[in-house]
Structure 1
């Protein structure tokens, strides 16, 4: 059975040992890929940024560096065709138009199939679209951004922008870095074991999750109790909310899911194909967002 919103395997946890990875064994990674494929999911999202790879720095979107980065990605993928090629983080130190010309050159050379943006502000998306239309460049048709039931700032201005320009959305962090799971914990409690994405010793990106989600501790705890009262897990609520009650549409690009074990991914897949949530739980999700939204200040980087 397929999901209402497509699922994409996130490979941000795949990498060499001691690089913020959670999966360093190729055999385990292959198991996860095979499981996704067995459920009809054929997209994998990855980036040289992950696991101590090369980050985007000011000036990295110069035409020369964009083309060099693309060549490095193709080499790392052993020459496999790239389906969606993202500008992962805006480089505001360099003119967008010059960057987009380089992207267009790569596209015209057959380098990738779909042009995507990630972590841009809505007005920047509109600017990119305007430049591409004026210059006849390949148009962005996918946008990747953060989205889950306690992180919905994208709904206010970004989603209307994407709908206007027919750009599909791909959402990452559907479980808020693990905060919307049965492993949920209140920070600093003596009995708690930190989630890996929140632990500075295990993740160089911990600042992102702690700043956004720690303030929602009490609200998420209340939602977890309500979920249990209806015989549901918090993980199931979060995934079913995205499938049926969020602002996502069936023709969006999808929800990016990740796991470090086959059993974990199997649960995610099974929960994602279930139907809509009970009305009382949907209402509780809305209340949780109202309590959590004060800590979410931006959806872009």
Structure 2
């Protein structure tokens, strides 16, 4: 079947009928025609707009000043973006501004097409009819096309109305610029070539001469994801390549939303996902054309966005999925625009190294994740083992799953380590609230085992009580998982003493696996576990593992009563801008705490000791932990240096008597103000 020569279409059907200007958003059905425009027409004769509505505005304004019609071109899916100015500006019922819509017809009835066109395609003509906009379908011959355009223009002028020329796929012939024919816009601003086929596996950007191709960028992004992260990607090559790379790596596609339509709305979509996805980050990946189309959404939303929403805009300078037409903005202006938007952090990179560095900085926004480098984590494990350490404590919630994942990648079993992990209830993981129901326990333990790359762990904790699920259901499920060989020992954390007693009695009565370890907060200025919990644990033969020996960093010596919020390190334990920081402030940031710290500081200073000396040596030598019975201390650190310091403090001798007495007095000061040991 013959196709239409784009040059003759412009010269005879358009110019021959008085139309010389065209504005719009590229579409693959119009690819040959647009190739001609890019090669031969400069602004203002031809302007690529950021959105279809803008094309209507340009065509309407051009008519108001010249009384000449202009073309507003777009894909049929973009008609919805154009309807507002068509209905409220150009329609005969309003200002009556004639213009010619040239609309690519994707999803035409009887033709196979992508799913994003299944709704719009069959309804395209009905949409125009419902608005009262006359239309014709592009004929096959130049003579017939010229006549059709003439009829439409006559109708538009006489009726003071927009009209439309509908262009099915494959009606235009391909166009190649003739020798010396170029307006300087046709070549993309980057040396990148894209394969334009319908098969997803062929949607790969070529490396060419670039330091960073789109595919390379996407591979880097996917490698930086934590297990709890999700991606939301825009229409075109971004979604296709994310699909391709994940499939190639046998990765879970359920955490990748591949938006195959709604161009320009990817960031609001990702923002909405992030609102309900409290257990991980949302990585929004879109192209520069999609970004530009409704950039006002970013201007409004970015200032309010969570740190866990990361927006990645891949700038290749073209609309690759519609024929590699250039986007209507140069690199410098795009960077200036992005630089003015209210993101909390902005990174502009053009290399793999730059993208990796940007993600490392962005990753620091992940609460509870202070280590973002696998090599650094491995070095800390080496140091820990050199000091005789064998057990590593983690949890499903730590670093939103990254802690378990790092340990899995570091092959903890080959190192001779033992890893314990925990499941905390009443938080959301993006699919709903986590509970301690039988179904959720199995699901999340399996996720932990997968991240840790093992079939079994030694100790699995119920990280906190889920009082919305009967303890009987929870413990029965734990017993089933234990019998299946998924863990050796059961632990509890953050439960009340009476709950520990109830659970222990129930498990013994039913013959179920019973808890043998309790993990709780315990330090020199937070000793609430001593009064009722310790006697309970001793009665049931349960050992105690103490966490937070530094009182949430208050015993590090870094904080004073007059410490300003602006002086507190971002993402640290007391960062007031994070959930974790606010939680620790409620626990350890009040006048009583600071009164106690001043007392400790004075006593320690007499012996040239630091608050950290006092904290670790107190819990190692003067607390009520019974090391011989199996009690232990969990030491945390966010760097190798910190870990070495903390381990060194634990190996020192007991404290002077007067310092111990000062710590006891400090506890009497804080006793009435610290939080409960249970959640």
For residues 105 and 190 of structure 1, what CA distance do their matches in structure 2 show? 48
Evaluate the alpha carbon distance shift between residue 114 and residue 285 of structure 1 in structure 2; reply closer, same or farther with a 3 A threshold.
same
Match of 1:272 in 2: 650
For residues 59 and 76 of structure 1, what CA distance do their matches in structure 2 show? 18
Structure 1 residue 187, shift from structure 2 partner: 4.7
Cα-to-partner distance string for 1:116-169 (whole Å, 9 max, x where unaligned): 000000000001001101110011000011111111101110010000001000
For residues 194 and 289 of structure 1, what CA distance do their matches in structure 2 show? 27
Question: SS state of the match for residue 557, structure 2?
Answer: coil
Question: SS state of the match for residue 491, structure 2?
Answer: strand
Q: Which of these residues, 420, 425, 444, is aligned with residue 56 of structure 1?
A: 425
For residues 27 and 46 of structure 1, what CA distance do their matches in structure 2 show? 18
Report if aligned partners of 2:545, 2:633 keep a CA contact under 8 Å in 1: yes
Match of 1:160 in 2: 535
* Number of positions where the alignment pairs a residue of Structure 1 with one of Structure 2: 286
Match of 1:232 in 2: 609
Match of 2:671 in 1: 293
For residues 108 and 187 of structure 1, what CA distance do their matches in structure 2 show? 54
Report if aligned partners of 1:83, 1:114 keep a CA contact under 8 Å in 2: yes
For residues 446 and 565 of structure 2, what CA distance do their matches in structure 1 show? 48
Structure 1 residue 28, shift from structure 2 partner: 0.9
RMSD of equivalent CA atoms: 2.0
Match of 2:488 in 1: 113
Match of 2:574 in 1: 198
* Alignment gaps of 5+ in structure 1: 1-15
Report if aligned partners of 2:565, 2:575 keep a CA contact under 8 Å in 1: no
Please state if 1:146 is matched with 2:521.
yes
For residues 611 and 374 of structure 2, what CA distance do their matches in structure 1 show? 30
For residues 424 and 495 of structure 2, what CA distance do their matches in structure 1 show? 16
Q: Which of these residues, 448, 452, 458, is aligned with residue 73 of structure 1?
A: 448
Question: SS state of the match for residue 176, structure 1?
Answer: coil
Please state if 1:137 is matched with 2:483.
no
Match of 2:236 in 1: none
Cα-to-partner distance string for 1:207-266 (whole Å, 9 max, x where unaligned): 232112112112202211211211211101100000111111113341111112212111
Report if aligned partners of 1:119, 1:299 keep a CA contact under 8 Å in 2: yes
For residues 137 and 81 of structure 1, what CA distance do their matches in structure 2 show? 18
Larger radius of gyration: 2
Structure 1 residue 189, shift from structure 2 partner: 4.3
Question: SS state of the match for residue 235, structure 1?
Answer: helix
Report if aligned partners of 2:565, 2:576 keep a CA contact under 8 Å in 1: no
Question: SS state of the match for residue 439, structure 2?
Answer: helix
For CA contacts below 8 A with separation 6 or more, give which structure has more relative contact order: 1
For residues 211 and 99 of structure 1, what CA distance do their matches in structure 2 show? 30
Question: SS state of the match for residue 464, structure 2?
Answer: coil
Report if aligned partners of 1:211, 1:295 keep a CA contact under 8 Å in 2: no
Greater mean alpha carbon deviation, residues 187-196 or residues 46-55: 187-196
For residues 152 and 206 of structure 1, what CA distance do their matches in structure 2 show? 21
Report if aligned partners of 1:49, 1:56 keep a CA contact under 8 Å in 2: no
For residues 365 and 502 of structure 2, what CA distance do their matches in structure 1 show? 39
Q: Which of these residues, 218, 221, 234, is aligned with residue 598 of structure 2?
A: 221
Match of 2:640 in 1: 262
Structure 1 residue 298, shift from structure 2 partner: 1.1
Question: SS state of the match for residue 211, structure 1?
Answer: helix
Report if aligned partners of 2:574, 2:581 keep a CA contact under 8 Å in 1: yes
Match of 1:186 in 2: 561
For residues 562 and 631 of structure 2, what CA distance do their matches in structure 1 show? 34
Please state if 1:128 is matched with 2:497.
no
Structure 1 residue 191, shift from structure 2 partner: 8.7
Match of 1:28 in 2: 376
For residues 141 and 31 of structure 1, what CA distance do their matches in structure 2 show? 31
Structure 1 residue 94, shift from structure 2 partner: 0.8
